[in-house]
Structure 1
Amino acid sequence: MNYKYSPLSASSRGTFSIRLLHLMPTCDSPADGFLSCHLVETKIVDRSLDTSVHNKREQAHVKYQALSYTWGLPEFTHSLNVIHNSDDNDTLTSPNSSSSEIRITENLYAALHCLRKQTETLVLWVDAVCIDQNNIVERNSQVANFPKTYAGATSVLVWLGPDDVLNHGRLCLNFFADLAALILKDPKNESGNDQWSWRKRFRINQAVSAFLGDDESQPRAITSLLQRSWFKRRWIIQEVVLANDVWVHYGATSIHWNAFELALVEWFENDKGGFSDDHRTILRTMSRIRNADAMLKRQTPLDTLVEFDSFECSNPRDRLYALYGVMQHWFPNSAGMQVLVENINYGLPISDIFTDFAILMMKLRDDFPLDSNYNSTTHVLQLAAAMRPALQREVASQDTGVPSWVPDWTGTMRHKPLHHSPESSDASRGIPKQHFQIMNLKNNRRALVAVGLVYDVIKAVIPLDILPLTGAVHKAKHALNNFLCSIATSFDQIGFFSSGCTDIYGPTGQHIISAIAVSLVANWEHTPANSYFAQDARFPTQFLEQLRSSRHHLPEILHKWPAYVELVAITMRGRSLMLTESGYIGICDTNVRAGDVVCILSDTRIPFILRPKSLDSKVTEKNCSSLIDERIPTEDSFELLGDAYVHALMNGEAAQILGKRLKTSLRKLYIL
C-alpha cells in the first residue's frame, strides 16, 4: 500500500513544519536490504526571525541531518517502508505493525542503505520523501523553506553515490584525507613560521606525484570522482552554501568537506593539465561556495545565475528556484530577494516565472553593492539575447512563450555581454531618463515598453572566423589580410564609403583599419587584467598605428598580435561585424541581419539591435496582431536581438548629433 501523506501544519510566526525521516537501524530490519522508517512532522524554529534564548534551546532538541544527493533517473525501483502509529520512533514494535511504502530511486536507496546506523536511528531530511511531491501547494512552501531547512540541520551529508568495482571512491577520499592532513600539518618544527615553507611545499608536491605515479588507475580515480552527477546538480549549491557542517560520502568512505575541498584544490593546482574545462568549473565553484561570506562579493543575482549556468536540474523552474536561497543568503538585506523566495510556485508556467524574475531584476537598482557603471535594465536585456536557446535564435518567430526581452534560463551563454559604459559617458547620455513599463498582452504575454531612438539600420553583416587568426603569427597575419579583404569587398558592394574617402571612417575621421580593429575588441573594454594591452595605455595606440601602416610587416607587431587575437576571441564569440546605412561599423549578435535596427533606449548604457516585427516573414499582419495587441502599432513592435558595440556611438553621440531634433525623434518602442 502506498504511503498517504497527511497535510503539514501551517507555519506560524517564528516556526515552520517539516517532516523528518527517522531511519531504523540495521539491527531492527528483518532483512539486510529492507529499509524502514517513521515520518515525523516536526516544528522547526526559524532562527533568522526569533533569537530568544528559549527558542534557541528548543531548536537544540531538534537535531537532524539533511541529505544532498541526485535523484537520478525517474525510475522508482525500490521501496521505503513507513511504520505508522508507533509511540516509540526508535524501534519497530512487531513485523505486523501498520505500514505502507514510498517508492524511491536506486540512488536514494543506495544512500539510505549505506548511511543508516547499526544500533541507533538516523534522523534525516530528504526532499523526495519528506515532501509530498504530488502536492504543489506543499511543494511550493517547502522549497521556499529550503534555506532554513538546510541551515537548521546539524550537518549536510553529501552522497556522491556507491563506490565502483575498482574502489575509486575509497582510493580518492583516503588520499584526500592524507593530503589535507599534510597541508594542515603544524610547521613549527620547520625553519621559521611560514606555513608554506619550501620543505612543506616539496612534501606536498611529492605526495601528489607519488599518487599519480605510473599507475593509470590513480588519475582515473580522480576522473571517476569528478564525473559523479552530484557535481553537476544545481541544488547542491544551495545545500552546501547554507550548511553548518558538511560531510562527503562516496560509498562506504567519508571525509569532512574542509579536508575534501582543501585537497581537491591542491590537486588542481598541482595537475591542471589533467582536468577538463568542466572539471575546472566544478573545482572553482566547489572551492568558493563554502567561503562566499569571507569574500567581497560584488556580483548581482544575475551574475550568480550565469556563474552556475552549467549546473543541471530536471525541472526548468529550478534554473531559478534552486539558487533563490543562495541569492537571499548573499544579499540578506534585499527586499526583492525575499519577494522571490516567498513567491515560489511550481504551478506557474515557465514563461511567467522567467518574466516575473526579469521584471524584478530590472527594478532592483539599489539593493546590491555595485559601482556606478552597473545598470540592471541593461544587464537583463543583454542576458535575454545571450541566453536565448539556439533554436529560438535560428527561427526568430518561434513562439517559446518567453518574450525576447526576458532571459530564458534554459538556454546557454552564446556570447559575453559587453561591459556597461560609465554613467557619465553611456550611449543614452542626453536622452531623458524614463523607466520601462510592462504592458499585458493577449494570451498572458507581456511586452516591455521603452522610450528610445531607432537611430540606424543594419546594411550588412560580416561573419568572422576567428580560428585562422590563432595559429602561427605569419599564418594569422595572412588570415587577417584575407579577412580585411573580405570587409573591403563588402564595403565596395554596399557603397559604404562616400566618394574619395575610401580609407577614412566618417563618424570619427580615423583610418578605417583603426576603426575596425577597435570595434573587434569593443574598444579594449574586454582586456584581461594580465593582457599586454592592459600594461600601458599607449600600447593600443601603438598597435593601431602599426596595423594601419604601410609597413605592417614590421617585427614590432609580432609580439602584440597574440594578445590582440586573444581579445578578439573573447569579444567576438557569438558576434559578427556589422555595417550600417549611416556609415557606422560595430559588432552585434550573429543572429542580426540586414534591415534590423540600431536602437538607443532610455536608461540603458549601450546600444541594442532590434528587429521590426514587420520584417519577420514568418509572422503575417493577421497573426501578428492576434498575438500582440491592437493597441500596439505594427511599426513600433520589435524583437530584441542583443547588445551591440557601435564605434562612435557609445558615449552619448546620438543625442548630441540630433540636438534639437532629439525630442521629436524619440519613440515608444514595444519589445515583444
Structure 2
Amino acid sequence: MTSSSEYRHVPLAEPRNIRVLDVEPASATSTELRCKLRQVSLEAVPLAKYSALSYCWGGQIPDHPVLCDGALLNITKNCLDAIMKLRRPQDTITLWIDSICIDQKNMAEKSTQVALMGEIYKHADQVIVWLGEWDDTLRKAVEVVKDIGTVEYSGEPTPEQGLLGQRQMQDKVKALKAATRHPSDDVLGPLYHKAWFGRMWTVQEVELARGNNILVYNGPDSSDQLPWNVLILATDALLVCHYDWIDLSRTVKLHKQLLTMIIMERWPVMKEVYKMKPGDLVHDPMVWTIMCDAREKEATNVKDKVFALYGVFQELKIAPALPSPDYSKSIEDIYRELTVAGIESDKHLYVLYDAPSDHRHLRPGLASWVPDWSDPGWRGRGNMDSRIAVSRDRFCAAGPADPSWKFSADGRQLLLRGKIIDEIIFCGQPLCCLADSNIVAQLTNPRDSASRNTAAEEYKDDLREAYTTLKSWVQICSWYDKYPTTGETAAQAFCRTLTQDFGVEDNNNPESKLEASNAWFRTMSSSNPDVEVFRAVHGDRLGARKNDDTLIEYVIRESPPAMLPLAAIQMKPGGSFHSAARTFSTRKGFFITEAGRMGTAAARVEAGQGEPRRAVNLVEAGDQIAVLAGLEMPLVLRPVNIGDGKGAIGDEQKGKRVYRLVTHAYVHGIMYGEVWEDKSRPLEEIILV
C-alpha cells in the first residue's frame, strides 16, 4: 500500500443521503483491494443501484487496512473476505456495507443512518448473505438444503402443484430424518449453526429485502450460491417435519415470523391464505411477539436489540410511538421506550410476563416492568422453561376485565387498575433442576460416552433435588387441615398448586389423575416418606420382611443416592404425578400467604464464582399479591419506599401505593376470577416503577 493516511468519512450532504462503496475490478485474487466511497440519495432509488451485504462482525476488530479513495480504511477480516469474493475481474461492483458506509465514530450520523437501514436493504438491487468461507461440511449442508427446497414444475405452477411440491419437500426431510440417528449424523448443522443466523442485525437485512433478490453467496458459480427462497422453503419443510437435530426455532423462527407478517402487510390478500396454514406463527403483528422471538439474537451493542428492528416496525406500521434510533440514550431509556410503544401498539399487557429473568438484577436502573431485551430471558431454553407464562390462557384471575393502563407524563411509571389481595409471609426452598431440555438426546447418544455420562449425572442430581425439595414442600403443607378459601383438602389444593391446576384432572379419565396425586401425597406426607417410597417400588423384593422399616432404612443408607429419587418416579400410581409436579415446579419456589393461600412463583438461577448453579427465590416475605385488569395471572409486587431511590415518582402519584414488579405467580383459589368479583375489594390504581 502506498498511503499511510487514515481515511476520514466526508460528512453526508443531505439527511437521506447514504454512502455506497465502488470496488475496483481485478483479474487476480492477489491484487490489492481498491475502492471508493460516494454519496447517493435514497430519493434516487432505483437509479442508485447497489448490492447490500448482510454479514456479521463475529467479534472481530477492524484491523485489516484497505485503500479507499487513496487513504487507509480498516475493516474486519470477515468483511474483507466477503469483498474479495464479490470483486469482479472486469466491472466495478457497488456495495452498501454498514461498517464501511456509515462513519462508526460519528454517533449522530450512526443514529440517523441506522434509522434508514430498513429502506437501504428494501431498495437494494440484491442482498448478499455472507456466512464466511465455505468448507466441505458447509457445502454438503447447502447441497442438501438445495435438494430439499427445489421442486420442478411443469408449466405454470398451480395451487395443486404447490401442495404436491410441499409434500415432495417433506418426503425428502422424512428420508433425511430416517438417516439421521444421532447428532453426529446431522449434515445441516454446519449451515444453520453459522453465527449469521444468531445475530440481531441480519434479521432486518433479509426480511425487508425482496425475497427473490437475496442470495447466500460464496462465489460466482451456482454451486457456490444458495437462493434465499430455496433456503426458506427447505427450512419450512424441516420445521413441519420436526427435524429436531438443529434448533430451528432459535435460528429461523423470527425470520419466518417476520416474513409472514411482511408478506401480509405488502399483500393483504395473503392474510387469509396464511390463516389457513397450521403452525405457531402469529398473523397479527405485535411488538411483544417480535421482541420475545428476538431475545436470543445477539448484538455487540445491546442497544441494537431495539434499533435493528426499527425498519421492521416501520414496514409493519406498528409501534408508531417508538422514537428514532439515538445512540446517545441510555440502554434503560431505549428499552423502556420500546416497551411503552409496544404496549400502546399491541393494546395488551402481556409484556409484563416477560419482564422477570435470571439476570435483570444486573441492570438495576431498568424499570421493573420493562424486560431486559439484551437477555434471552426464560425463553432461551426453547420455551421449555416452566417459568414462562405459557399456560396463562387457561386462567382469568381478573375475570373478563379488559386491560387498563396509562403512563406517567415522563413515561417512567406504568399505572394499572387492579386489586392488592394478599401478602406473602413464607417462602420454601426453591426447586432448581438444571439439566438441559435436550437431555434425552444426550442420554441416548451411543457415540459420545463422556456427554452421556455427564448428562446421566446431571439427571440424577436433578431427580435428587426434586425429591428433597418436593418433600420439604409437603411438610409445609402439613400445617393445613383444609384449604382456607376453597374448602378443599390440603392435599387437593397442594397438588393442584404444584401443577398449576393442570394434569390433576383429566376429562377423559379424571379418576386416574386424582388417584395418582392422592397416592403421591399420602406417600410423601407419611411419617417416613423415604421408607414408603422404597416399599412402594422395591418392597416385594424383601418378601416377608416388606414391612420391616428398620431393614428398609438400612437398605436405603447402603444404596446409591439416586435410588430413592428414581423410585419416586416409578411408584404406581403416584410416580406419574411426581414427574408432573417436578416438571411444572422446576425453577420455582413454593410460598404461603397471609390469608393461607398456596402458590408457586419463579426462582432466579444463579452461579457463584467457581460454584455450581443454584436457585434463589425471586419472591420474599412482605411481597404483595395483585390481580390486574387484563392479566390472566396474578403478579407479585414489592412495595417501594419512595425514599429508597428505586423509583422516583411525580407529584400526581404521591400518596398512592407504588411497587416494583417481581414476577407472575400461580396462587390457588384466585386463578379464575374468585377475588375479582368480590365487591368488598374496590379497584385501585397501582403504580409500577
Report if aligned partners of 2:86, 2:219 keep a CA contact under 8 Å in 1.
no
Map 1:481-492 → 2, pairs under 5 A: 485-492=471-478
Q: Which residue of 1 aligns with 2:125?
A: 154
How much does 1:156 deviate? 0.9
Residue of structure 2 aligned with 1:249, choices 203, 217, 220: 217
Indicate how the Cα distance of structure 1 residues 627 and 416 shifts in structure 2: closer, same or farther if over 3 A, else same.
closer
Report if aligned partners of 1:63, 1:154 keep a CA contact under 8 Å in 2.
yes
What do residues 330-367 of structure 1 show as CA deviations (whole Å, max 9, x unaligned)? Answer: x33x3xx2332x5211111111111112222222355x
Aligned-partner Cα distance in 2 for 1:40–1:481? 67
How much does 1:118 deviate? 1.2
Find out whether 1:315 has 2:296 as its counterpart: no
Q: Secondary structure, in 3 states, of the residue corresponding to 2:251?
A: helix
Residue of structure 1 aligned with 2:666, choices 645, 649, 660: 645
How much does 1:67 deviate? 0.6
Indicate how the Cα distance of structure 1 residues 263 and 6 shifts in structure 2: closer, same or farther if over 3 A, else same.
same
Map 1:526-545 → 2, pairs under 5 A: 537-539=507-509, 543-544=513-514
Report if aligned partners of 1:430, 1:655 keep a CA contact under 8 Å in 2.
no
Aligned-partner Cα distance in 1 for 2:433–2:102? 51
Aligned-partner Cα distance in 2 for 1:197–1:416? 33
What do residues 402-422 of structure 1 show as CA deviations (whole Å, max 9, x unaligned)? Answer: 111211112232331255568
Report if aligned partners of 1:319, 1:409 keep a CA contact under 8 Å in 2.
yes
Aligned-partner Cα distance in 1 for 2:154–2:400? 62
Aligned-partner Cα distance in 2 for 1:511–1:558? 22
Report if aligned partners of 1:246, 1:257 keep a CA contact under 8 Å in 2.
yes
Match for 1:517: what amino acid?
C
Report if aligned partners of 1:511, 1:548 keep a CA contact under 8 Å in 2.
no
State the TM-score, normalized to the length of structure 1.
0.73
What do residues 22-69 of structure 1 show as CA deviations (whole Å, max 9, x unaligned)? Answer: 111114x8x824222222211224xxxxxxxxxxxx644332211100
Q: Secondary structure, in 3 states, of the residue corresponding to 1:583?
A: coil
Residue of structure 2 aligned with 1:416, choices 388, 391, 401: 388
Q: Secondary structure, in 3 states, of the residue corresponding to 1:446?
A: coil
Aligned-partner Cα distance in 1 for 2:339–2:668? 29
Q: Which residue of 2 aligns with 1:49?
A: none
Q: Secondary structure, in 3 states, of the residue corresponding to 1:599?
A: strand
Map 1:456-467 → 2, pairs under 5 A: 456-462=422-428, 463-464=430-431
Q: Which residue of 2 aligns with 1:403?
A: 367
Report if aligned partners of 1:80, 1:101 keep a CA contact under 8 Å in 2.
yes
Match for 1:157: what amino acid?
I
Find out whether 1:42 has 2:40 as its counterpart: yes
Map 1:411-450 → 2, pairs under 5 A: 411-414=375-378, 415-417=387-389, 419-420=391-392, 426-429=396-399, 435-438=405-408, 446-450=412-416
Report if aligned partners of 2:64, 2:74 keep a CA contact under 8 Å in 1.
yes
Report if aligned partners of 2:498, 2:585 keep a CA contact under 8 Å in 1.
yes
Aligned-partner Cα distance in 2 for 1:130–1:268? 37
Aligned-partner Cα distance in 2 for 1:197–1:230? 27
Q: Which residue of 2 aligns with 1:346?
A: 327
How much does 1:233 deviate? 0.8
Q: Secondary structure, in 3 states, of the residue corresponding to 2:90?
A: coil
Q: Which residue of 2 aligns with 1:109?
A: 80
Q: Secondary structure, in 3 states, of the residue corresponding to 1:380?
A: helix
Match for 1:464: what amino acid?
L
RMSD (Å), alpha carbons: 4.4
Match for 1:353: what amino acid?
I
Indicate how the Cα distance of structure 1 residues 410 and 381 shifts in structure 2: closer, same or farther if over 3 A, else same.
same
How much does 1:82 deviate? 2.1
Q: Which runs of 5+ in 1 are unaligned?
A: 46-57, 84-98, 367-375, 393-398, 615-620
Deviates more, 1:310-319 or 1:515-524: 515-524
Report if aligned partners of 2:207, 2:255 keep a CA contact under 8 Å in 1.
no
What do residues 404-445 of structure 1 show as CA deviations (whole Å, max 9, x unaligned)? Answer: 1211112232331255568xx8433599986333265xxxx9
Match for 1:130: what amino acid?
C
Q: Secondary structure, in 3 states, of the residue corresponding to 1:644?
A: strand
Q: Which residue of 2 aligns with 1:100?
A: 71
Q: Which residue of 1 aligns with 2:67?
A: 81
Residue of structure 1 aligned with 2:595, choices 582, 585, 610: 582
Q: Secondary structure, in 3 states, of the residue corresponding to 1:364?
A: helix
Report if aligned partners of 1:450, 1:669 keep a CA contact under 8 Å in 2.
yes
Residue of structure 2 aligned with 1:507, choices 464, 469, 485: 485
Aligned-partner Cα distance in 1 for 2:60–2:173? 43
Report if aligned partners of 1:421, 1:605 keep a CA contact under 8 Å in 2.
yes
Indicate how the Cα distance of structure 1 residues 121 and 480 shifts in structure 2: closer, same or farther if over 3 A, else same.
closer
The count of corresponding residues between Structure 1 and Structure 2 is 569
How much does 1:580 deviate? 0.9
How much does 1:560 deviate? 10
Match for 1:389: what amino acid?
H
Aligned-partner Cα distance in 1 for 2:23–2:314? 32
Residue of structure 1 aligned with 2:52, choices 66, 73, 87: 66
Report if aligned partners of 1:5, 1:132 keep a CA contact under 8 Å in 2.
yes
Report if aligned partners of 1:547, 1:557 keep a CA contact under 8 Å in 2.
no
Q: Secondary structure, in 3 states, of the residue corresponding to 1:576?
A: strand
Report if aligned partners of 1:456, 1:597 keep a CA contact under 8 Å in 2.
yes
Match for 2:681: what amino acid?
L
Match for 2:414: what amino acid?
L
Indicate how the Cα distance of structure 1 residues 418 and 82 shifts in structure 2: closer, same or farther if over 3 A, else same.
same
Q: Which residue of 2 aligns with 1:572?
A: 585
Indicate how the Cα distance of structure 1 residues 317 and 559 shifts in structure 2: closer, same or farther if over 3 A, else same.
farther
Q: Which residue of 1 aligns with 2:648?
A: 628
Indicate how the Cα distance of structure 1 residues 266 and 606 shifts in structure 2: closer, same or farther if over 3 A, else same.
closer
Indicate how the Cα distance of structure 1 residues 150 and 582 shifts in structure 2: closer, same or farther if over 3 A, else same.
same
Aligned-partner Cα distance in 2 for 1:139–1:303? 27
Aligned-partner Cα distance in 2 for 1:465–1:352? 33
Aligned-partner Cα distance in 1 for 2:624–2:34? 65
Residue of structure 2 aligned with 1:240, choices 202, 206, 213: 206
Aligned-partner Cα distance in 2 for 1:113–1:304? 35
How much does 1:547 deviate? 2.5
Q: Which residue of 2 aligns with 1:608?
A: 635
Indicate how the Cα distance of structure 1 residues 148 and 559 shifts in structure 2: closer, same or farther if over 3 A, else same.
farther
Map 1:268-279 → 2, pairs under 5 A: 272=243, 275-277=245-247
Q: Which residue of 1 aligns with 2:231?
A: 260
